């Protein structure tokens, strides 16, 4: 049984009237009729499980072209297309049904996240300073707050995560300090802050500011010590991990080291990662950089300072005395030398040491884990030396 819409019947009548005078055209018209006859089940309601909306959509797509005849092969191909469209449309309707069941809260989150995500790159580009190549991003609450209060950096802009997190007391304190110092405050998204901090823990705040440099002996901010009769300087050679350097600075500041000196070559720079690892100590405590640590150590030896090196518990026999840190007493100004993560102190600096300190192990150690992390070892040694200095006072 053929099913035609009124529009289809009118067009076929028009074509039949025009072509009835030409027998050859009746053959082509017959092929058109065969096309409709090939798909009656798709158009009959009792044989279709598709909703009425889909039927109407399909009927609109099935209007025949009356400008020319169709071949039987074309008709069969077209019928395959109609059959293939049905599950696709049905799946689309199913997806609409699923979306309609999504809660209003989840739909609101999607609307807030995805459209804003398209605008974030342009917004971040506009908020960052055009001269950003001369600036860097300090991240974390303590580093940002201390960078603002200490005034060693030139702060340009403060970026704060928009939302409820910006109302925390610690974040508000950073914002108030920035406002007091005339630093612009911008509210941005978490993804913007993640990009600024390279995915590190920013705690909802980032500060665009000038970088910190190593201090020199000739710098105006160079201090002559705190007047201690037995000062202790911590000398770092080849510390390359910023997390280790940050942890060392934090321990040195907490325990009362008078100065931290570092080699400028093959050492980690004073980066925002170091500032975050030090919990902002790097913003407070100046770190002195030396092109040649050997010359600095020799000059201190000439002034009467003692030079103390460090070795592991498994160190080979040395011509220098090796003393456990708990047995060493600091009686005069001292340089404590700490080597890098891999090789430790260089032979040139070891040759300048007057004694070597070691940390005794509390148990028999397995091969490969006979040593401590350099930041942990530094903290233990500093505590031992400075504890005996306090007891002497």
pLDDT value for 227 = 54
CATH of the domain at 279: 3.40.1280.10
Give dist(CA 79, CA 85) in Å, integer.
10
11-39 average pLDDT score:
49
Look at 257 and 105; give whichever has higher pLDDT: 257
In a domain? residue 12: yes
In a domain? residue 220: no
Look up the domain containing 285 and give its range.
232-392
In a domain? residue 314: yes
Same domain assignment for residues 141 and 63: no
Answer whether residue 342 shows pLDDT above 70: yes
pLDDT value for 174 = 96
Same domain assignment for residues 37 and 95: yes
Answer whether residue 126 shows pLDDT above 70: no
Same domain assignment for residues 245 and 385: yes
Same domain assignment for residues 249 and 315: yes
Structure tokens at 159: 């970026």
Same domain assignment for residues 272 and 196: no
In a domain? residue 214: no
pLDDT value for 76 = 47
Same domain assignment for residues 166 and 251: no
Q: Report the 3 state secondary structure along 226-265.
A: CCCCCCEEEEECCCCCHHHHHHHHHHHHHHCCCEEEEECC
CATH of the domain at 137: 3.30.1330.30
In a domain? residue 342: yes
Whether pTM exceeds 0.85: no
Q: Which of 174, 209, 244 is the last residue of a domain?
A: 209
Reported as type and span, the H/E element at residue 358 is strand 355-358
In a domain? residue 116: no
In a domain? residue 30: yes
Same domain assignment for residues 199 and 239: no
pLDDT value for 315 = 56
Which DSSP string corresponds to 2-47? ----HHHHHHHHHHHHHHTT-HHHHHHHHHHHHHHHT-HHHH-GGG
168-193 average pLDDT score:
95
Same domain assignment for residues 248 and 384: yes
Which DSSP string corresponds to 307-342? EEEE--TTPPP-SS-EEEGGG----S-EEEEE-BTT
In a domain? residue 157: yes
Same domain assignment for residues 139 and 50: no
Same domain assignment for residues 204 and 239: no
257-284 average pLDDT score:
96
Same domain assignment for residues 285 and 351: yes
Contact 201, 194 (CB under 8 A): no
**72-83 confidence digits (pLDDT tens):** 444 444 444 444
For residue 103, what pLDDT band results from cuts at 50, 70 and 90?
A: very low
Half-sphere exposure of 90 (CA within 13 A, CB side): 11
Same domain assignment for residues 185 and 90: no
Number of domains in the chain: 3
Q: Which residues partner with 235 through β-bridges?
A: 261, 337
Give the lowest-confidence range in 35-44, 215-224, 243-252, 379-388: 35-44
| Per-chain mean pLDDT for the chain | 75
**213-260 confidence digits (pLDDT tens):** 999 987 655 454 455 778 999 999 999 999 999 999 999 999 999 999
């Amino acid at each position: 049984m053929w099913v035609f819409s009124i529009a289809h019947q009118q067009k076929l009548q028009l074509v039949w009237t025009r072509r009835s005078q030409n027998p050859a055209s009746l053959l082509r018209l017959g092929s058109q009729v065969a096309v409709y006859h090939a798909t009656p089940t798709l158009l009959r309601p009792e044989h279709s499980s598709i909703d009425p909306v889909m039927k109407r959509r399909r009927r609109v797509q099935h209007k025949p072209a009356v400008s020319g005849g169709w071949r039987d092969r074309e008709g069969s191909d077209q019928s395959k297309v109609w059959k293939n469209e049905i599950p696709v449309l049905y799946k689309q309707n199913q997806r609409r049904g699923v979306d309609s069941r999504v809660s209003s809260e989840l739909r609101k989150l999607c609307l807030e996240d995805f459209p804003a995500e398209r605008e974030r790159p342009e917004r971040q580009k506009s908020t960052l300073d055009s001269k950003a190549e001369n600036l860097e991003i300090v991240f974390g609450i303590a580093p940002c707050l201390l960078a603002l209060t200490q005034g060693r950096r030139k702060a340009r802009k403060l970026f704060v995560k928009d939302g409820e997190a910006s109302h925390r007391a610690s974040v508000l304190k950073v914002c108030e300090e920035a406002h007091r110092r005339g630093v612009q405050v911008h509210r941005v998204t978490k993804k913007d802050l993640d990009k600024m901090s390279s995915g590190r823990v920013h705690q909802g705040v980032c500060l665009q500011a000038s970088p910190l440099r190593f201090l020199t002996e000739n710098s105006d901010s160079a201090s002559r010590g705190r007047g201690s009769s037995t000062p202790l300087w911590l000398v770092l050679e080849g510390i390359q991990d910023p997390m280790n350097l940050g942890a060392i600075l934090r321990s040195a500041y907490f325990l009362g080291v008078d100065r931290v000196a570092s080699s400028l070559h093959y050492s980690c720079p004073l980066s925002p990662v170091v500032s975050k690892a030090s919990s902002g100590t790097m913003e407070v405590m100046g770190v002195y950089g030396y092109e040649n640590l050997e010359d600095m150590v020799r000059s201190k030896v000439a002034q009467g300072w003692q030079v103390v090196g460090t070795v592991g518990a498994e160190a080979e026999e040395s011509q220098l005395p090796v003393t456990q840190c708990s047995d060493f007493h600091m009686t005069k100004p001292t340089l404590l030398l700490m080597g890098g993560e891999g090789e430790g102190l260089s032979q040139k600096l070891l040759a300048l040491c007057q004694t070597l300190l070691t940390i005794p192990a509390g148990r028999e150690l397995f091969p490969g884990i006979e040593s401590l992390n350099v930041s942990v070892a530094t903290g233990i040694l500093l505590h031992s030396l400075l504890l005996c200095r306090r007891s002497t006072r």
